[in-house]
Structures are given as structure tokens and as C-alpha cells.
Amino acid sequence: MQYEKEFLIGLYRTMVRIRNFELKAEELFLQGKLPGFIHLYIGEEAIATGAMANLRKDDYITSTHRGHGHMIAKGADVKKMMAELYGKETGYCKGKGGSMHIADVSIGVLGANGEVAGGLPIAVGAGMAIKMQKKDSVVISFFGDGASNRGAFHEALNWASVFKLPIIFLNENNQFASTERVTETTSVKNIGDRAKGYNIVGATVDGNDVIAVYEVVKEAVERARNGDGPTLIEAKTYRIKGHFVGDPELYRERSEVDEKWQFEPISRFESTLLKMGMLTDSEKDSIWKDAEVEVKDAVNFAEESTYPAPESALQDLFESDEGYDY
Amino acid sequence: MREITFSEALGEAMLEEMQRDPTIFTYGEDIAKQGGIFGAYKPILGKYKDRIIDTPISEEVIFGSALGAALAGMRPVAEFHFSDFLFTGMTAVANQIMKFKYMTGGQGKIHLILRGPDGISKSAAAQHSESIETLFMHIPGIKIIVPSTPYDMKGLFKTALKADDPVICFEHKMLYAKKGPVPEEEYYIPFGKADIKRAGKDVTVVATSRMVHESLKASEELAKEGIDVEVIDLRTLVPWDKETIIESVKKTHRLVVAHETWRRGGWGAEIAATVQEEAFEYLDAPIMRVGAKNVHIPFSPPLQDFVVPDYKSVINEIRKVVNV
């Protein structure tokens, strides 16, 4: 592996930060401290991390309802994320959005999305804007295997191909759309093969290998920045946790999950780095410790923050409210 | 004053604002070469070629991409071809555009416009003929303009092109070719300010779009009988001008609301309910509503004429309240 230690450690650190955030979110939800739903990204950290290592601040992403990892990898403020999960006024959405609607437009995060495939048309619009502004920014649109069966996916890929937009359509194939298995709901073995239908470059990659994801996205980002149009990438992974915290998971055996856990991306990358001498045990411990502290601080921040005033529910619908009847 | 068509007024608004603001661009089906399915964009054909774009028939992306483009700093104007096809991409409108700002706690400026033909045309039948503006009034998150004259079309659209909120513009198919006075000098019409298209003292009729003209025609007929009708054109449904209506009701003591959309649950019901809540003591008669019968728009001309309201429908309802 030809990469600098600093870069590799950076990838590892990001994955560990995501993992810690997700483990804490799960714990808090099970303690009844978080309202709503929480969709965890545990086991899929390599995709957001590897992909986002290619992006600049002026690049955009659209995310999914399983979006905490994307947010963290793009540089979001973990405190504001946690506060939003609590529904506090210091959260990213001032308590109006929750986990599924976190956005940070200032760093190019055009929203997590509660609707499957909802982000793809938005990504197309950002791609159009970039092209019209003659910039070299790119968009990564994350979506799951279920989304690839929706009309928005097909319309977005066709459109992006026709107009040669700088978009990377990044499919996170975690094998399940809610409770439905991809093999039972999807007509192709590899979602990456669907690129052929839209005359764009397609690839299928091991989504639990952070370097593999980084490299395939790197090529796609270069193509996009050079004006050579969109790419469809399928990153195959496995959803270790249920669809949401509390999912009874009637659709699979525990043994299947245990087996897949052997291939989870963080310990896999960790043993590679240890073997290469790029990571020492003490560095590893301090990275985990830092991540735990970061999340603990975020929880403290969220818990000390106040709930929004009820009447603030009537703010933020419009930029200008003149004449609007609340 | 010179007279131009509704379409020409729309085109002028676009050209003036595109010249002022390089982030404005427009796209949809049959736009760049045809100027829209009814030629509403004919005045902009051949102008600003990079900013007037033909797209695939792909409604969810036409609407959803407007949100993405706005967030990335552009001012998109997306055409919906026929308002009926808003349903095809409705999730991008109702689940994304109308919710984004609110559910992210006020992030981003969602300056985008969805616009296109709405309303009945001759025997276009159910999937090319509906007036569905009420749906967008019911769901929070988008401002609605429903112009009735070339003057209003231009002034409201120019305001929309400067607004920092999402706006939807419903242009009635039967009005595109209608001419009216439009000044040469620049002007903007603010949202939420109704226009009294005819002053009168006996009964107030609140209407929008094509029904403004039907209501004016009704008022001319009734004037012959000595019934003096005040016709208020709301011009925008979100926000809507409550004050002008209540002031008028204080004077006439009678109210009829007239729209082309279905009578059941139409926006007229909202106006009627609000006026009875806030100005009940001024009313001398029940508020009456004019709207399409609660079926889809049928094909055969006598069927369409039976379902869709016109000036005679307005006269019928006015007669019910003036004789009380």
C-alpha cells in the first residue's frame, strides 16, 4: 500500500469516530433518551470514510436515513448532530428534523433523507448547478440497495448521463431494504451493472475495504472533475444492525450476522495497519479513547442544551414569512 | 398603455430577470425549442441558450433537481408541463422542496420556481385539465401565485424570481393568449396583496385566474339588473390577503368565492371559513362557493361544460345571497 501513514490513520480515525457515535446513539436510544427512530451505520463505516476522503469542502453530498456516518465523514459537528438526535434547540435542525433530516448546507451536506432515493434528484440539481457555474466541484449521492429499484434512481442516472453531470452515485448495498433481502427484490446480482443501461461507468467494490472504496471513488471523482460525467459505484457491505434500533429482525438468523461480523471494516483495516506497522497498539487505544471522549462531550452538550421553545415550531418554514398564516 | 399577451408578459418577466441575475435558469420538457407545451415561453426562445434547457420526461428529477440546484446557489425555474403531472413527481415537491427548509431548521435559501399550465382547456379530459392549486395551499412550504392578467403575470413572476422561498405558479391554459395592458417600465407585485378588479357595493366575489374573468362577466350581466358586484382577485393563495376580503365584506355584507378547482375542499372553503370566523357579524347571508363538481374533468364538451364552473355558475350563487 503506497499511502502515507497520516492518511491511513486519518481513515481509521474517521471510521472509529463513526462507530463510537453509532454505539452511543444505540445505547442512548435503548435507554429511552432519544425520541423517534435511529438507523445505524455500524459495519458500513468504510464506505462513507473511503468515499469522503476524496472530497473537498465545496463538494456536495446527499445522504440517506442511515446518514450519521456520511455526516461525520464530511466534517459535520458531532455535538450538533447529537443535540439534534435529542431534539434540542442546539441541534443541526433546531429539533425540527431529527436523525433522518440532518443537513449542513455550509459544508455541502444537502440533507440526510427520510425517503428512499429522495436524495438522488437533489444531487442531480447540485450537479446541474456546478456545471452551470463552471466549477470543478462534485456530488456524491449515497443511496441503498432498495433505492436502486425506485424510479428516482433510474431517472437521475439517465439525466446525469445525458447532461454529463459531475455526480458519483454511490450505492451502499447492505443487503437489506428495511426487512427485504436484496436477492429477493432486485433483478440484478450487481447493482453496479445497472450503469450499462445508462451508458456510464459502473463498478462494484468491496464496501468493507476502505482503501478499495477510496480508490474506486477517487477515479470517479477525477472523471467528474474533468467533465467526463457520472459514475455508478456499488459498495457491497452488510447491515450488522436491524433496520432501526428495536427492529425484531425476523428476517434473518443471528448466525448470519455473527458470520458477517467477521468481515466488519474497522477491525479488518486495523489488523492490516498493525501488520504493516502503520499503527501501534497505543496509537490505536488513543484513537478509540479520543473518539469516546468526543462522543461523551457531544452527549454532555446535548443533555445540557435546552429543548426548543414550543412556539419556535412556527419558524423556519420560509425565508420571509410576510403574510403567511400560521 | 401597450397591450401584450399573458405569454408575452411571462417571457418579459423571465428575460428582464435573467438579464439581472445570471443564476436564473429554466428547464423542463419542450422548453428550449418549443417554448413550453402551450408556447408560454415563446418570447425567450433563442435567448440565453445555456440557461434554457430541454430535459428528459422525468418529473421527479425536474422538481427534485430544482431543490438541489437552489441549495447549490442557482435560481431554477422548472416547468411542470401540465399541472396534472405534478402528481408524477409530487414526492419531490411535497416531501423534499416543501419540507427541506423547515426540517433542517431553516438552512439554505430555497429560491426556486415551479411553473406551468393549469386548469381546463377544451376537452383535454381528466389527465390534462385539472386545477390543483388547493393541494399546495393545504401542505405548508410553498408560495402560490395564480395570475389572471398579463399585468399580474409579469409583476408576480418578477417578484417570484427575486424571492428566497419556493414558489409555484399556476398559469391557466385559457389565459395564455389573452391580452392586457402592461407598462413598459419595470414593476413588481408583492405576494399577499389582492387586487380589486371591479369595485361594487352589493356582493363580494373572491376569485383567481380564469374565474376572475368569469366573475367580471357575471358582474356585467348582474349590473344590468342593478346588482353591483365587487370582484377581488386574490392573485396569490399563499400568502392570501385576508384583510382586503374582510374590508370588502364589511362594505357589501355578502361573499361568494369562485374557483375552478373542485368545490369540495377547495381553497374557497378556507376563505369562507376564515371570513365567518373573523367577520361573521358583517354577513347578511351565508357565504356561497363556486367550484367544479366533484368528479374528474370529462372529455365530451357538454359533460365538461356541466362540470366546470363559468360566469353562469357565479351568477347563480350571487343570486342566492343577494335575495336573502
Asked whether the beta carbons of residue A151 and residue B238 sit closer than 8 angstroms, the reply is no
H or E segment at B233? strand B229-233
A82 CB-side CA count, 13 A: 27
pLDDT of B148 > 80? The answer is: yes
Contacts of B56 in chain A (CB under 8 A): 155, 158-159, 162
- Helix A5-30 crosses helix A78-86 at what angle (to 10 degrees)? 10
Asked whether the beta carbons of residue A159 and residue B241 sit closer than 8 angstroms, the reply is no
H or E segment at A176? strand A176-177
Q: What is the pLDDT of residue B291?
A: 98
Residue corresponding to grid cell 440532518 = A102
Percent share of chain B, pLDDT over 90? 94
Q: A226-238 pLDDT, tens per residue?
A: 999 999 999 999 9
| Distance (Å, whole) CA A269 – CA A266 | 5
Contact predicate B196/B232, CB 8 Å:
yes
Quick check: helix, strand or coil at residue A287?
Answer: helix
Contacts of B163 in chain A (CB under 8 A): 319-320
- B38 — pLDDT class (breaks 50, 70, 90): confident
Question: Model-level pTM?
Answer: 0.97
Contact predicate A139/A168, CB 8 Å:
yes
Contact predicate A128/A165, CB 8 Å:
yes
CA B181 to chain centre: 19
pLDDT of B35 > 70? The answer is: yes
Residues counted in chain A: 326
Asked whether the beta carbons of residue B140 and residue A317 sit closer than 8 angstroms, the reply is yes
Kindly list the distances between the CA atom of residue A115 and the CA atoms of A68, B112, B172, in Å, as whole numbers in the listed order.
15, 21, 32
Contact predicate B123/B171, CB 8 Å:
no
Asked whether the beta carbons of residue B239 and residue A319 sit closer than 8 angstroms, the reply is no
Backbone phi, psi, residue B185, to 5°: -75, 155
For chain A positions 36-95, those within 8 Å of chain B (CB to CB) are 60, 62, 91-95
Average pLDDT score, chain B: 96
Q: A76-108 pLDDT, tens per residue?
A: 999 999 999 999 999 999 999 999 999 999 999
Residue corresponding to grid cell 395592458 = B181
* Of B62, B2, B74, the residue nearest B30 (C-alpha): B62
Beta bridge partners of B26: B52, B77
pLDDT of B40 > 90? The answer is: no
Contacts of A156 in chain B (CB under 8 A): 61
Q: What is the pLDDT of residue A320?
A: 86
Do the bridges between strand A180-181 and strand A60-62 make them parallel or antiparallel, or are there none, so unpaired? unpaired
Rounded to an integer, the average pLDDT of A198-204 is 98
B304 CB-side CA count, 13 A: 16
The sheet carrying A139-144 orders its strands as A60-62, A139-144, A167-173, A231-236, A201-206
pLDDT of B324 > 70? The answer is: no
Contact predicate B198/B228, CB 8 Å:
no
Rounded to an integer, the average pLDDT of B1-6 is 96
Query: How many pairs of residues across A and B have Cβ atoms under 8 Å apart?
Result: 159
ipTM, two decimals:
0.96
Q: A162-193 pLDDT, tens per residue?
A: 999 999 999 999 999 999 999 999 999 999 99
Beta bridge partners of A8: none
Beta bridge partners of B262: B292
Q: Report the residue from B58, B67, B101 with minimal CB separation from A122.
A: B67
Kindly list the distances between the CA atom of residue A140 and the CA atoms of A71, A122, A127, A168, B91, in Å, as whole numbers in the listed order.
12, 11, 10, 5, 21
Q: Could you tell me if B72 lies within 8 Å of chain A, comparing CB atoms?
A: yes
* Of A293, A54, A320, the residue nearest A170 (C-alpha): A54
* Of A30, A115, A43, A69, the residue nearest A261 (C-alpha): A43
| Distance (Å, whole) CA B173 – CA A301 | 55
Q: B45-99 pLDDT, tens per residue?
A: 989 999 999 999 999 999 999 999 999 999 999 999 999 999 999 999 999 999 9
Please list, in sequence order, all residues whose beta carbon lies within 8 angstroms of the beta carbon of residue B115, skipping any fewer than 6 positions away: B77, B78, B79, B80, B157, B168, B169, B170, B171
Which one of B111, B128, B253, B259 is the catalytic residue?
A: B128
Our CA-based measurement puts residue A299 at a distance from the nearest CA of chain B, in whole angstroms, of 20
Cis peptide before B239 (omega within 30 of 0): yes
* Residue A193 DSSP code: G
Please give the single-letter amino acid code of residue B20: R
Q: Could you tell me if B140 lies within 8 Å of chain A, comparing CB atoms?
A: yes
Provide the grid cell at A252: 434473518
For chain B positions 28-57, those within 8 Å of chain A (CB to CB) are 50-51, 55-56
Percent share of chain B, pLDDT over 70? 100
Task: Give yes or no: B128 in active site.
Answer: yes
B264 CB-side CA count, 13 A: 5
Contacts of A128 in chain B (CB under 8 A): 65, 68-69, 74, 76
